[in-house]
Amino acid sequence: MVTFSACALPSRSFGPGFVALAAVLAITVPLSGTAAVDGPAPLPVEEIATGATPLPVEEIAPGVMLHVGRQEVWSAANGGDVANLAFVVGSECVAVIDSGGSPALGARMLAAVRARTPLPVCYVIHTHVHPDHVLGAAAFAALEPRPRFVAHARFAASLAARAGHYLAAAERELGHAQEAADIVFPDIEVADTLELDLGGRALTLRAWPTAHTDNDLTVHERATGVLFLGDLLFAGHLPVLDGRLLGWLAVMDELAELEIALAVPGHGPPSRAWPAALQLQRDYLDGLRDQVRAALRAGRTLAETVNALGETGTDTWLLADEFHRRNLTAAYAELEWED
């Protein structure tokens, strides 16, 4: 999610759509065996280095653990716990997929890893640059041996440009003074695809053209067929456009062709229905494109367009009050350059 790609997020209370959250979470698919039976025994609590309370995680496939973030805007009240975070346990080491919305949350994610396995964390993969996905990195960067950080080839440039802004927003919105040291740049950059071996299981990383952002990366765990989509897929939470609308739609066409057993969005519950899990998002983004194109053809200005369409097409979504008008603005600024 982008809460403040270009400005601060609104620090107001959640809209009426928020009560629908419980309903959305209730449709979470049945997940395979949640008991950790195969892995090494959990560490005693005193060995959890950070002393942080482990984030609750679910075993969505053998050795594949998911923490489902809240469907809220990034704020002090939720400690930045709004994005989905995951880890995959191999026979030699662990890969973490997105580190969380604050260093404290990263520490809780690390505690969740430690509660599950003593194996080292060898990779921290960031699916894209947004702060609710990456500001937990410092907790992992402090580990010995230090894991290698992996991201899209355009991630570093984007993070470099945005980091100061993210830190300021973190201080303003989370009330947490952060330092530049909390920003961790990738050691391994993915321009196309990359295979990571965790011992006995491999992750396939794929870098995508500009869509949700200009640095979206997916992680495919082939053995179990789990695909981590980052914010290329939103479920429940209104999709947020911080890249290129037409690019995103094209990427979704390619994603729909993949063989997937379980799709994990960046926000909201995972789904086994593929490619059907893309449909609501496609409907929303298609509608955004078609309505904005129609407004442009009718000679409407940006302000007129946002005012006219500000309440449309968001019925099934959470957080529409926070993000729909921004999406209209972004879509207009993109599509007005179409021939």
| 82 near Zn ion (CB under 5 A) | no
Single out the residue of 214, 231, 321, 322 in contact with Zn ion (rule: CB under 5 A): 231
Q: How far apart are CA 4 and CA 1, in angstroms?
A: 9
Task: Say if CB 151 and CB 190 are below 8 A apart.
Answer: yes
| 216 near other proteins (CB under 8 A) | no
Single out the residue of 126, 130, 152, 244 in contact with Zn ion (rule: CB under 5 A): 130
Single out the residue of 85, 135, 227, 306 in contact with other proteins (rule: CB under 8 A): 306
| 169 near other proteins (CB under 8 A) | yes
- Bond preceding residue 275 cis, omega within 30 of 0: yes
Q: Nearest CA to 93 among 67, 61, 125?
A: 125
Name which of residues 291 to 310 contact Zn ion (CB under 5 A): none
DSSP three-state, residue 74: coil
The letter for the amino acid at 107 is A
Single out the residue of 4, 87, 234, 317 in contact with other proteins (rule: CB under 8 A): 4
> Edge-to-edge, what's the strand order for the sheet holding 217-221?
193-197, 202-207, 217-221, 226-228, 262-264
| 1 near Zn ion (CB under 5 A) | yes
| 303 near other proteins (CB under 8 A) | yes
Single out the residue of 95, 105, 107, 163 in contact with other proteins (rule: CB under 8 A): 163
Q: How far apart are CA 115 and CA 47, in angstroms?
A: 9
Q: Which residues pair with 227 in a beta bridge?
A: 220, 263
Name which of residues 226 to 255 contact other proteins (CB under 8 A): 241-244
Q: How far apart are CA 309 and CA 32, in angstroms?
A: 41
| 295 near other proteins (CB under 8 A) | no
Residues near other proteins, by CB under 8 A: 4-8, 10, 154, 156-165, 168-169, 180, 183, 185, 210, 213-214, 241-244, 299, 301-303, 306, 325-326, 328-330, 333, 336-337
Residues near Zn ion, by CB under 5 A: 1-2, 130, 231
